[in-house]
Amino acid sequence: YMVDKGNHRHFMEKEIYEQPEVISHALAHYVDLGDHTVETSICGAIDFASLRSLAISACGTAYLSGLIGKYWFERYARLPVEIDVASEFRYREIPLAKDQAALFISQSGETADTLASLRYCQEAGLKIGAVVNVKESTIARESDAVFPILAGPEIGVASTKAFTCQLTVLASLAIAAGKLRGTISSDEEKQLVRSLSEMPRLMSGVLNAIEPKIEALSRELSKYKDVLYLGRGTSYPLALEGALKLKEISYIHAEGYAAGELKHGPIALIDENMPVIVIAPFDRFFEKTVSNMQEVAARGGKIIFITDGKGAAASKLPTMETITLPNVAEIIAPMVYSLPIQLLAYHTAVFMGTDVDQPRNLAKSVTVE
């Protein structure tokens, strides 16, 4: 059916703003928003209780949501996760056994590398789960369990709402898996689901609050040729996603790095010509990330600090700009922090004058290996 941009300039902008609503839909499907519980039946044919490990593979932004999912499955369900980009997964000759399951994440459900990786796991006798947006897709059809992300049609080539809906589904599955495996208490379950349920309202607030500041910052950012993103914990895959988004649509060279790896390479590049975007909620990694930021500041690097009220108060370092978000529970930080990351890429691309919804050389769905 027809999808239009409404009163937005681009589909990407519209899709960024749709996130609170589509995430509500996804949440209503996976968790009980009244009781703050999750039914283990959402896991369908994947018997998380008896799994030895989970293999995840995907491409592009979907791969990065899987990387965040890995942190959750391991932390909340104590389930080891193997993850790789789909184009490498099946060449690693991973010893696969039937007490593993495989999860494929794909907005379109048609990505050739992801589908090939799925068939490879199927041949090895693994149960297959698919986290997809398009329920009628090939990947969905060939899976034992389908986990729809309910994001609605995504038109912009650079994925935004599909990413945060994938995260919402993965977080719900990780909690359900934790429940099945007896690795989270019912108190923890309630706390986690309550945090998830607060997400749409928090995200609406953030979208309204940060746009003017991000727009001004994007004008500055569009003057640079290289940008580095840093993060630790689940903010590390988000740093990768931030860099991917920026390079895809603004064509500015960007790299994401684990904050702790700064000293093993990228620190050599730090000068006043490469802004460093640090994603650091005030979590259990905060102090360590700030010490990495200190190393950047000491070398004349310009810092764009994306943090929360507590983080902004705790760091005394000078920054080019500080984007302050509300203090949020750890499990929803990746979704909430996606918003400044997406808007920064979006507005920078608008200032650069690129074709935001149809960036050069990229396709929405890649059906060749």
364 belongs to the catalytic site: yes
Q: Is 366 in the site for ligand G6P (CB under 6 A)?
A: yes
Residues 172-231 within binding reach of ligand G6P (CB under 6 A): none
Residues 48-67 within binding reach of ligand G6P (CB under 6 A): 59-62
Q: What is the C-alpha to C-alpha distance for residues 161 and 140, in angstroms, rounded to an integer?
A: 19
| Count of chain residues binding ligand G6P (CB under 6 A) | 16
Cβ-based nearer residue to ligand G6P, 84 or 308: 84
Cβ atoms of residues 307 and 325 within 8 Å? yes
Cβ-based nearer residue to ligand G6P, 288 or 364: 364
Cβ atoms of residues 49 and 356 within 8 Å? no
Cβ-based nearer residue to ligand G6P, 60 or 311: 60
* Nearest residue to 147 via CA among 276, 48, 76: 48
Q: Is 354 in the site for ligand G6P (CB under 6 A)?
A: no
Q: Is 342 in the site for ligand G6P (CB under 6 A)?
A: no
List the x/- string, 103-122, binding to ligand G6P by CB under 6 A: ---xxx--x--x--------
Q: Is 324 in the site for ligand G6P (CB under 6 A)?
A: no
Cβ atoms of residues 341 and 245 within 8 Å? yes
Stretch that binds ligand G6P, among 8-16, 34-42, 331-339, 359-367 (CB under 6 A): 359-367
Residues 298-317 within binding reach of ligand G6P (CB under 6 A): none
Closest distance to ligand G6P from the beta carbon of 305 (Å): 27
* Nearest residue to 148 via CA among 13, 27, 1: 27
- Tokens representing 39 are 């039914």
CA distances 4 to 8, 13, 14, 365, Å, are 9, 12, 9, 20
Cβ-based nearer residue to ligand G6P, 109 or 281: 109
Closest distance to ligand G6P from the beta carbon of 13 (Å): 16
Q: Specify the DSSP class assigned to residue 59.
A: -
* Side-chain-facing half-sphere of 47: CA atoms under 13 Å: 8
Cβ atoms of residues 22 and 161 within 8 Å? yes
3-class DSSP string for 61-76: HHHHHHHHHHHHHHHH
CA distances 35 to 187, 334, 365, Å, are 12, 24, 38
Place of tokens 């009980």: 32
Residues 141-180 within binding reach of ligand G6P (CB under 6 A): 157-159
Closest distance to ligand G6P from the beta carbon of 70 (Å): 17
Q: Is 365 in the site for ligand G6P (CB under 6 A)?
A: yes
Active site residues: 364
> What does the binding site for ligand G6P look like in residue numbers (CB under 6 A)?
59-62, 106-108, 111, 114, 157-159, 362, 364-366
